[in-house]
């Protein structure tokens, strides 16, 4: 061994001579003698044993005093159990300690489950950055804005804020209402044809995908393209499960997910090209997020041209955000992040909302009463003012988000050693996952947390529990679409309940939570829709 080291260190020795000397010394030395009596199999098993020990020791080293399994299944850890994660297993983990751990493949994962631990992670951008899951970078593309960090992220995000202001949200309402009317009519027809309750989660996912696509890219996409994205979207979700094989191999979940996400990116790139052409036409009004963004880019360009031509432009004519011109593909990547962030979360919220209200007729009656007062004619256009006045509808939506938070875990990556608590420092490179569930089911903030009670948002003090309200995260990456998401769910449930009835077939699995990126009723929600009988005034 010594001679091998010497050969490496002797930089003046010609390579050939070094190699020969090394082989000679191996042949005659202790190592050579050992090798003579050793089979390839025993070398392999020895190396394997060393690797197993190394894997275990480095797990202990990272684990420190954290609560978690003392032993790790070599290399893969609990990968096989995690392929089909059960909510109960996660729940037990969250309850086990404010900080606990697990190691899957090469990844050491720390789970921050209490409100304060979760908040600490969300609010420590100096130490952590969002990671989603490893494969997300391959699907969304590494250069995507959501992977920006620090100042670059803050700056990029500022340029997107204008897409979610009150006046922007107002612009998107007509398109959303068009989609809801069309889909609800289809729901009813399909229910009539079926003649019995059917699993409805898939339909709700398609509905949410269609309403998102209309909001994000307006009419630039055909109905067939929306349907294709909605149908294939579960492939993307499946590829992004918290635990998945880290390399994209053909015909695996991640491979199908990558193909589906490439197709989405291509469609959105085409939409961006069309939007740029339309928005340059005289009098073109923005109808969707893409339009508004392109309009802002055009306004910024015009402002710069005026300055360049030597004009003294008054300050009040300066655009609120000066944007550069983004390429069609850059626009597509960003719009994809909106779909990516909203699709599963809104589908989850929508599923629970329909289940809970169908199972609680008095709550549904109260929601309808409010809707009827504010918009007596179900054919009337729903304005933003109307929605903002629906305080009970808002309470029902917020309580659904609290009671069944769609996003229970938000994976972050530790970018430098992070002293999470007085006694534990997370090592650079590990994953740390704040969980939202315990904060949202904290009996001190929300008394009787396992009871669905919209009143806590009206006569109770739930609105004052800002520290516990982690549904949309907190810190520099908090959900940019939170106001839009809440109003959209309010619009959906208001429009549905004012014109339709739906019944829910309760099964033993209705209340069991299935984890599929977000959370859904395990039985996939058996629903049946019918036209609501007109309300006769007393």
Question: Which residues make up the interface to ligand HEM (CB under 6 A)?
Answer: 122, 130, 146, 157, 337-338, 341-342, 345-346, 349, 406-407, 410, 471-475, 477-481, 484-485
Least distance (Å) between residue 486 CB and ligand HEM: 7
Least distance (Å) between residue 530 CB and ligand HEM: 27
User: Per the annotation, does 479 bind a ligand?
Assistant: yes
Q: Toward ligand HEM, which CB reaches closer, 248 or 353?
A: 353
- Residue 364 CA to residue 370 CA, distance in Å, equals 10
Strands 431-434 and 107-112: parallel
- Residue 231 CA to residue 210 CA, distance in Å, equals 11
Q: Toward ligand HEM, which CB reaches closer, 66 or 169?
A: 169
Torsion of CA 419, 423, 425, 431, to 10 degrees: -100
Least distance (Å) between residue 359 CB and ligand HEM: 20
Q: Toward ligand HEM, which CB reaches closer, 18 or 113?
A: 113
Q: Toward ligand HEM, which CB reaches closer, 117 or 248?
A: 117
Torsion of CA 34, 39, 45, 47, to 10 degrees: 50
- Residue 389 CA to residue 400 CA, distance in Å, equals 19
The residues near 198 (Cβ < 8 Å, ≥ 6 apart) are 190, 191, 526, 527, 528
**Residues 530 and 501 sit within 8 Å (Cβ to Cβ):** yes
Measured at the CA of 244, the angle between CA 344 and CA 518, to 5 degrees, comes to 20
Could you give phi then psi for residue 455, rounded to 5 degrees?
A: -60, -25
Least distance (Å) between residue 26 CB and ligand HEM: 54
Nearest residue to 126 (alpha-carbon basis) of 407, 410, 420, 337? 420
Q: Toward ligand HEM, which CB reaches closer, 64 or 125?
A: 125
Least distance (Å) between residue 408 CB and ligand HEM: 9
**Residues 407 and 515 sit within 8 Å (Cβ to Cβ):** no
Q: Toward ligand HEM, which CB reaches closer, 234 or 256?
A: 234
Per DSSP, helices labelled H in 383-501 are: 384-388, 391-403, 437-440, 482-499
Least distance (Å) between residue 477 CB and ligand HEM: 4
Please enumerate, by residue number, every residue annotated as part of a binding site for heme: 479
Please enumerate, by residue number, every residue annotated as part of a binding site: 479
């Amino acid at each position: 061994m010594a001679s091998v080291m010497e050969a490496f260190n002797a930089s003046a020795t010609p390579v050939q001579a070094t190699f020969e000397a090394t082989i000679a010394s191996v042949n005659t030395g202790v190592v050579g003698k050992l090798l003579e009596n050793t089979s390839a199999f025993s070398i392999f098993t020895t190396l394997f044993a060393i690797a197993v020990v190394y894997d275990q020791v480095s797990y202990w080293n990272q684990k420190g005093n954290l609560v978690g399994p003392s032993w790790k299944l070599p290399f893969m850890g609990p990968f096989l159990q995690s392929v089909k994660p059960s909510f109960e297993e996660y729940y037990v983990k969250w309850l086990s300690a404010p900080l606990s751990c697990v190691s899957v493949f090469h990844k050491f994962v720390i789970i921050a489950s209490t409100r304060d631990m979760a908040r600490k992670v969300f609010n420590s951008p100096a130490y952590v950055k969002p990671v989603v899951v490893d494969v997300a970078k391959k699907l969304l593309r590494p250069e995507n804005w959501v992977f920006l960090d620090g100042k670059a992220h803050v700056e990029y995000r500022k340029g997107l804020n204008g897409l979610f202001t009150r006046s922007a949200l107002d612009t998107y309402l007509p398109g959303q209402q068009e989609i809801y009317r069309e889909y609800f009519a289809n729901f009813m027809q399909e229910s009539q044809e079926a003649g019995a309750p059917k699993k409805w989660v898939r339909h709700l996912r398609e509905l949410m995908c269609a309403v998102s696509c209309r909001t994000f890219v307006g009419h630039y996409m055909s109905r067939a393209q929306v349907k294709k994205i909605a149908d294939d979207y579960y492939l993307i979700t499946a590829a992004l499960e918290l635990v998945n094989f880290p390399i994209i191999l053909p015909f695996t979940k991640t491979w199908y997910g990558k193909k589906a996400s490439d197709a989405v990116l291509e469609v959105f790139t085409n939409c961006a090209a069309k939007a740029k052409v339309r928005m340059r036409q005289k009098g073109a009004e923005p109808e969707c997020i893409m339009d508004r963004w392109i309009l802002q880019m055009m306004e910024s360009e015009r402002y710069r041209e005026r300055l360049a031509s030597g004009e003294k432009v008054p300050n009040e004519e300066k655009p609120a955000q000066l944007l550069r011109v983004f390429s069609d593909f850059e626009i597509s990547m960003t719009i994809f992040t909106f779909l990516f962030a909203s699709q599963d979360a809104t589908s989850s919220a929508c599923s629970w909302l329909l289940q809970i209200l169908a199972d609680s007729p008095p709550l549904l009656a109260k929601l309808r009463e409010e809707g009827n007062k504010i918009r007596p004619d179900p054919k009337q256009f729903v304005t933003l003012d109307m929605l903002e006045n629906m305080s009970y509808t808002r309470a029902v939506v917020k309580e659904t988000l609290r009671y069944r938070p769609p996003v229970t875990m938000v994976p972050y990556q530790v970018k430098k050693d992070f002293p999470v608590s007085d006694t534990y420092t997370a090592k650079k490179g590990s994953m740390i996952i704040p969980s939202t569930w315990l904060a949202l089911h904290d009996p001190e903030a929300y008394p009787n947390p396992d009871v669905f009670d919209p009143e806590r948002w009206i006569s109770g003090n739930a609105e004052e529990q800002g520290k516990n309200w982690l549904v949309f995260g907190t810190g520099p990456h908090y959900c940019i679409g939170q106001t839009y998401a809440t109003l959209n769910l309010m619009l959906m449930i208001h429009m549905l309940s004012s014109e339709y009835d739906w019944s829910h077939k309760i099964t033993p699995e209705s209340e069991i939570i299935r984890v599929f990126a977000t959370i859904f009723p395990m039985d996939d929600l058996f629903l049946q829709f019918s036209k609501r009988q007109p309300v006769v005034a007393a």
